[in-house]
Chains A and B, each alone.
Chain A
Amino acid sequence: MASYKFLASKSSWMPILTRHVSKSYYFRTAQLSCSASMYEKDIKEYKAPQTEATTEVKKLKRPPFGKNLFLGKFDTEVLAFPEVLDKERLQMLEEMVAPVEKFFEAIDSKKIDAEGEIPKETLDGLKALGLFGQQIPTDYGGLGFNATEFSRIAEITALDSSVAVILAAHQSIGLKGLLIAGNEEQKAKYLPRLASGEWTAAFCLTEPGSGSDAGSVQTKAVLSDDGDYWIMNGNKIWISNGGIADFFTVFAKTPVRNIAGEMEDRVTAFLVERSFGGVTNGKPEDKLGIRGSNTLPENVLGEVGAGFKIALNILNSGRFSMGSSGAGMLKKLLGWSAEHAINRKQFGKPLMEFELIQEKFAKMATTIYAMESMSYLTSGMLDSYEEPDCAMEAAMVKVFSSEAVWNCTSECLQILGGLGYMKDYPYERYLRDARILLIFEGTNEILRILISILGLQHAGKSLADIVRKVRNPTANPGYVLKKMWRRFRRNPQNPRLDLNLNYYLHPNLRRPSELLEKRVLQFEIAVENLLSYYGKEVGNKQMDLRRVADIAIDLFAMTAVLSRSSRAYCIGLRNAEHELALANSFCVEADLRCERNITELFGGDFVTQDLAMKKIAETIFQNKGYCAEHPLKQNL
């Protein structure tokens, strides 16, 4: 019987079903187990696969991927690119995509840009398509999209950035708080109106004195004497939708009694209707002021004093879609540029035959590919994991894609030459719009720190003992010597590849997977070094944190690209060979970037320019500006 079992395991599932299709793999294994029970001889009738199994996919409990990278733990499950949507849902999405695409092609973006206003017909069209309630559950009249479907639609809505901002401010941040932390009554009261687009939502966090730092809001809210309502006073600026919104998620400081029994100001989130009165907004920059607005106590979102957490949650969960929306925009732009390169002739040859132009296109395509892969991998994680911990991945997607959009748009303009600079064409508008991506939803600098701090916190928990011992070599001489010997044996420059990532990918991707593996292993060593070198001070070493974040982003991007291209090649999608080439090329580029960052982390101040940079900056601040003498200056 034992040998029979051996036979059974030998003739395994066909390759297509094994590991490259993670989600459907799970649902198919569910089917398999039910068909195993059908092996009983007395079954005479064939049963169709249960449809419930397809719609109700069991969520998986997975460790956080990005954070574990800091410990050198690589969740190989991620190398099976998630297939979140089953066939029916995908078809439904596709049916939804076509009219939205048509609608966005008809929008006159140039006019919107010139007049600074979205015409009413456009807004009505958006409402009719249901785009104001994409992530609101169907019970409340929304479309009930999951993260993946939301990303797909974001690809199209990004074609007009003004509309994209309205939609993003409305549902990515404006009403997200209500979805995350609202109670049933609040949801039932507001969501239907928000889903239909009757009301527009806005997210009010930024103030004149507080930008990326959510904890420092100055708006005050105090409970009235009779305890019936809250009185809120303060100023908010740069509120997207501020001028048109009827519903605001406002963050304000409230006095809360802390554990020690003292009164303390904590941030609380409030739901404010415009109709409460007292909300005024300045027109030109959509500056919004809330002066003496009364808010009912039931409109406190979550708990009093829990606003900071909610704000971070909202911002973290809103970021992942920037990858897909950026990719949607860039794909369009790339298409236009390609058409230009085909038809434009210089020196008797079309532009497309010049190698420098070819290089630009290839690099842009690899970047777009990476953006898309990262974005959909993250949304797949959000959809298929139980209690997903994806703040880090979302931040990575945001940082990578905002920079990629900026660079690629700039490159496209370069290809288009003078044409790109003209106001008659849409290209320069895209460039202007792309610039804000680096700044809002958390500036890229803040997010880089966030990424590395999140990772280092996670690593610090497991490495605490080791770091303590290593930092006190006199107390633990034996341990330190052992550690040194082990480090020497592991050879940080060229560690032995024992993660075997290529087992989980198509053999054609062996080389890039080895690049990834090497960098993952080196990254682990670098993180450990960094923690033992700086100890608790590590949080202030921003230049090193930047390097850590950059490596982490590249590792995540390589993972996403490899898993996506491997899946595409294994199931034989159209142009899968091209995807392999993109993945290969991206990994080599990312590897080079990682190499530099890792060398600098390993080498520390001996290799890097950090100290010199600090000194230069210091001099500049002392002199309040550029202070080298003019080159024409003579000293006599």
Chain B
Amino acid sequence: MAVKFGLSLSQILNRALPKVHNCKLLPGLHIRHIHKNACQFRNKESNQLIVRPSAFNVPEGDRNKETFVEAVKIYTTRPGPRRSQVEFIYSALKEMEEFGVHRDLQAYKEIIDILPKGKYIPTNMFQAEFMHYPKQQQCILDVLEQMEDNGVCPDAETDQMVLNIFGRHGFPTKKLRRMTYWMPKFKNLSPWALPEKIPNSNLEIAKLAVQRMGSVDPATVIEIFQTSELKDAIDDTWIVCGQSSNQKDLLAKLKEKQTVFVEGAFTIWLRRTSINYFILRSEPVPLSEEEQKLRSEFDYDDVSQLRSWIFGEENLTRKDIIVQPSVHEQEDGTILAIAVTGTCSKDSLLSWIRFLERTNPNIANLTILFATNSPLGEVSLAIESNIPSEPLSKITGGSDICK
């Protein structure tokens, strides 16, 4: 019975006094289900108590994992009784991004490990239900929250640590276990798998990007060209081009003097890096009036004359069989090829078209229009590629070409 009472108490309170329930007065009651949705209940104001301990006063150039771990170590090995652990953890949390360890499980383990083992484990039902040591529990919950936001999944050792600190009725333990249940699942949800670490080389990123976009058609072939092969290319760079046999067929079918467009640059994101790509597009081909008429008049109920492609060509050319458009023929145009070039310059695009011409001779008969109006505004040449540790780094080409 007692348990029942403990569980429903929060519900009762929630209904009777929603305001009291949602504010921080009764911390034990509203932290039961910590997840993203619970953010709205949390006080958005920054913690006023944060001080910057001297341990983290490291000159800017030296801020890395080692100095971070060292700072934590200095705190934990200080002689005398340890004071203001929670404040230290909060300040460490704040500093993590500056030290570049905010996606490092080991760093999180170091700061969780600061808390003493055994002390905060509830010994009776009431302690378990009413958030024993709320400040400490909330602190570790915030650590876990930051881990979740950064996509760091706790491992078995973290589980043991938190278990030894708060026991199995602790809210951090429960949150951690929810994380270890869901995060591996989310990790594999995307149908476009990426390698664990996105490579630094732009060429590799370009390959991944073209591969991802080309996955709409399994027949897509990815080719890598070097502009140095062409005589009159100004830029010396690489081009990653994706084109499927279907797209080649579509390109070959275009009539003479028809205009095709080279458009871009558009952006594709691969986790936290982005790269620009270009497309070769032709205008959509609307159905002719005759075709539309045939389509509207097609009689699905007439089984007196069944036709099949099995009997050969003459059946196929009949107008009453409607060929399903391929995935490349969209309403706003037909995509004929995609490419990522090392410099994103117009010259490199020209080289791309020349390379395409080798396998698609029909390009010679077409009018090609280079559309400069990128939806992203002016595309600037990136002279230098610096891949900062910023969460969002935009790469528009770079000097690490062909490495």
Q: Are the C-beta atoms of B177 and A14 separated by less than 8 Å?
A: yes
B116 beta carbon closer than 8 Å to chain A: yes
Determine if B18 is an interface residue (Cβ-Cβ < 8 Å). Answer: no
Partner of B219, one of A40, A45, A343: A343
User: In the complex the two chains form, is A46's CB within 8 Å of B113's CB?
Assistant: yes
A119 in the interface (beta carbon within 8 A): no
B53 at the interface (CB under 8 A from A): no
CB-CB contacts of A28-66 with B at 8 A, as 1s and 0s? 100100010011111111101100000000000000000
- Does B164 contact A38, Cβ atoms closer than 8 Å? yes
Task: Pick from B186-194, B261-269, B297-305, B356-364 the stretch touching chain A.
Answer: B186-194
Given contacts A4-B124, A343-B245, A352-B218, contact A44 B316 (CB under 8 A): no
Q: Out of B1, B128, B157, B181, which one reaches A15, CB within 8 Å?
A: B181
B117 contact from A38, A347, A350, Cβ within 8 A? A38
User: A462 on the interface (CB 8 Å rule)?
Assistant: no
Verify A571–B184 contact, CB threshold 8 A: yes
Contact of A574 among B156, B168, B193, B309 (CB under 8 A): B193
B2 pairs with A3, CB closer than 8 A: yes
* CB of B16 within 8 Å of the partner chain: no
A576 to B187, CA, bound (A): 12
Using CB atoms, name the residue of chain B closest to A339: B218
- The listed residue (B156, B168, B178, B309) touching A347 by CB distance below 8 A is B309
Asked if A572 and B185 make an inter-chain contact with CB atoms under 8 angstroms apart, the answer reads yes
A7 within 8 A of B: yes
Q: Does A6 contact B (CB under 8 A)?
A: yes
Contacts of A10 in B (CB 8 A): 3
With CB as the reference atom, state the residue of chain B lying closest to A577.
B189
Contact across chains for B169 and A48 when beta carbons are under 8 A apart: no
Given contacts A41-B118, A48-B157, A342-B219, contact A7 B181 (CB under 8 A): no
A572 touches B3 (CB 8 A): no
In the complex, residue of chain B having the shortest beta-carbon distance to the beta carbon of A39: B121
Task: Report the Cα distance A350→B246, complex, angstroms.
Answer: 10
Query: With a CB–CB cut-off of 8 A, which chain B residues contact A41?
Result: 118-119, 121
Known: A43-B118, A571-B184. A49 touches B157 (CB 8 A): yes
Say whether B167 faces chain A, with CB atoms less than 8 Å apart: yes
Which residues of chain B are within 8 angstroms of A343 by Cβ–Cβ distance?
A: 219, 245
B174 at the A/B interface (Cβ < 8 Å)?
yes
Least CB distance, B247 to chain A, in whole angstroms: 13
Which partner residue on chain A sits nearest B2 by CB separation?
A3
- B138-160: which residues lie under 8 A (CB-CB) from chain A? 156-157, 160
Cβ-based interface call for A573 (8 A):
yes
Interface residue total, chain A, C-beta cutoff 8 A? 38
Does B174 contact A11, Cβ atoms closer than 8 Å? Answer: yes
Among A4, A35, A352, the residue within 8 A (CB) of B125 is A4
Docked-complex contact B219 and A14, CB < 8 angstroms: no
**Least CB distance, B322 to chain A, in whole angstroms:** 12
Say yes or no: A35 contacts B164, CB within 8 Å: yes
Residue of B nearest to A14 (CB): B177
Are B188 and A576 interface neighbours, CB within 8 A?
A: yes
Is A484 engaged at the interface, CB distance under 8 Å to the other chain? no
- Bound complex: CA of A39 vs CA of B160, how far in Å? 12
Instruction: For B115, give the chain A residue with the smallest CB separation.
Output: A46
Q: Are B323 and A348 in contact (CB under 8 A)?
A: yes
The range of chain B's interface size is 35 or more
CB distance from B329 to the nearest CB of A (A): 14
| Chief secondary structure at chain B's binding surface | helix
| Closest-CB distance, B281 to chain A (whole angstroms) | 23
In angstroms, how far is the closest chain B Cβ from the Cβ of A220? 60
Given A7-B125, A46-B161, the answer on whether A16 and B219 have CB atoms closer than 8 Å is: no
Residues on A with C-beta less than 8 A from B186 are 572
User: Please, which residue of chain A has its CB at the minimum distance from the CB of B193?
Assistant: A574
Q: How long is the Cα–Cα vector from A10 to B6 in the complex, in angstroms?
A: 13
Complex Cα distance, B163 from A44, in Å, reads: 13
- Please tell me which one of the listed residues B119, B169, B184, B309 contacts residue A572 in the complex, with CB atoms under 8 A apart: B184
By the criterion CB–CB under 8 Å, are A44 and B117 in contact? yes
Give A571 to B185 CA distance when docked, in angstroms: 6
Would B3 and A347 count as touching, CB distance under 8 A? no
- Complex: A575 Cα to B189 Cα, angstroms: 8
Does B180 interact with chain A (Cβ within 8 Å)? yes
Q: Do B160 and A42 touch (CB < 8 A)?
A: no
- The digit string for A509-541, where 1 denotes a CB below 8 A from any CB of B, is 000000000000000000000000000000000
Of the residues B161, B178, B188, contact of A573 by C-beta under 8 Å? B188
With contacts A38-B118, A44-B116, A342-B218 taken as known, whether A16 is within 8 angstroms of B181 at the C-beta atoms is yes
Residues on A with C-beta less than 8 A from B125 are 3-4, 7
Q: Are B156's CB and A49's CB within 8 A?
A: yes
Contact B185 A11 (CB under 8 A): no
In contact, B160 and A31 (Cβ under 8 angstroms): yes
B47 CB to nearest A CB, Å: 26
List residues 87-130 of chain B with CB under 8 A from any CB of chain A. 113, 116-119, 121, 124-125, 128
Q: Which residues of B contact A40 (CB under 8 A)?
A: 118
**Smallest CB separation, A500 vs chain B (Å):** 24
The digit string for A325-368, where 1 denotes a CB below 8 A from any CB of B, is 00000000000000000110101101010000000000000000
Q: Say whether, besides A3-B3, A41-B119, A348-B323, A14 and B188 are in contact (CB < 8 Å).
A: no
CA–CA, A489 to B217, complex, Å?
57
- In the complex, what distance in Å separates the CA atom of A45 from the CA atom of B2? 34
How far is B133's CA from A463's CA once the two chains are assembled, in angstroms?
A: 61
Q: Would A6 and B157 be within 8 Å (CB), given that A35-B164, A44-B118, A574-B188 are in contact?
A: no
Q: How far is the CB of B85 from chain A (nearest CB, A)?
A: 14
* Complex CA–CA separation, A347 to B125 (angstroms): 73
A494-B312 Cα distance, complex, nearest whole Å: 50
Contacts of A574 in B (CB 8 A): 188, 193
Task: Report the separation of the CA atoms of residues A121 and B325 in the bound assembly, to the nearest whole angstrom.
Answer: 53
Give bound CA distance, A39 to B173, whole Å: 14
CB of A20 to closest CB in B, whole Å: 11
With the chains together, A348 CA to B321 CA distance in Å? 12
- Bound together, the chains give a CA A217 to CA B118 distance in angstroms of 69
Q: What A residues does B245 contact at CB under 8 A?
A: 343, 345
Q: Using Cβ atoms and an 8 Å threshold, which residues of chain A touch B168?
A: 8, 11
B218 x A6 contact (CB < 8 A): no
Measured between alpha carbons, how far is A345 from B245 in the docked complex, in Å? 10
Q: Are B309 and A348 in contact (CB under 8 A)?
A: yes
Nearest-neighbor residue (CB-CB) of A342 within chain B: B218
B interface footprint on A571-614 (CB within 8 Å = 1, 0 otherwise): 11111100000000000000000000000000000000000000
* Set of chain A residues within 8 Å of B156, measured between Cβ atoms: 28, 31, 49
Please name 21 pairs of A and B residues whose Cβ atoms are closer than 8 Å in the assembled complex, sorted by A: A3-B1, A4-B125, A7-B3, A7-B125, A8-B168, A16-B177, A39-B121, A39-B167, A40-B118, A44-B118, A46-B113, A46-B160, A46-B164, A46-B165, A48-B157, A49-B157, A347-B310, A347-B316, A350-B219, A572-B184, A574-B188
Closest 6 CB pairs of A and B: A572-B185, A14-B177, A574-B188, A347-B309, A43-B118, A342-B218
Q: A43-B164, A46-B164, A572-B184 are in contact. List 17 more A-B contacts (CB 8 A).
A: A3-B125, A6-B3, A8-B169, A11-B168, A16-B177, A31-B156, A35-B160, A39-B118, A40-B118, A41-B119, A41-B121, A43-B118, A45-B117, A347-B310, A571-B184, A572-B185, A573-B188
The residues of A with any CB-CB pair to B shorter than 8 Å are 3-4, 6-8, 10-11, 13-16, 28, 31, 35, 38-46, 48-49, 342-343, 345, 347-348, 350, 352, 571-576
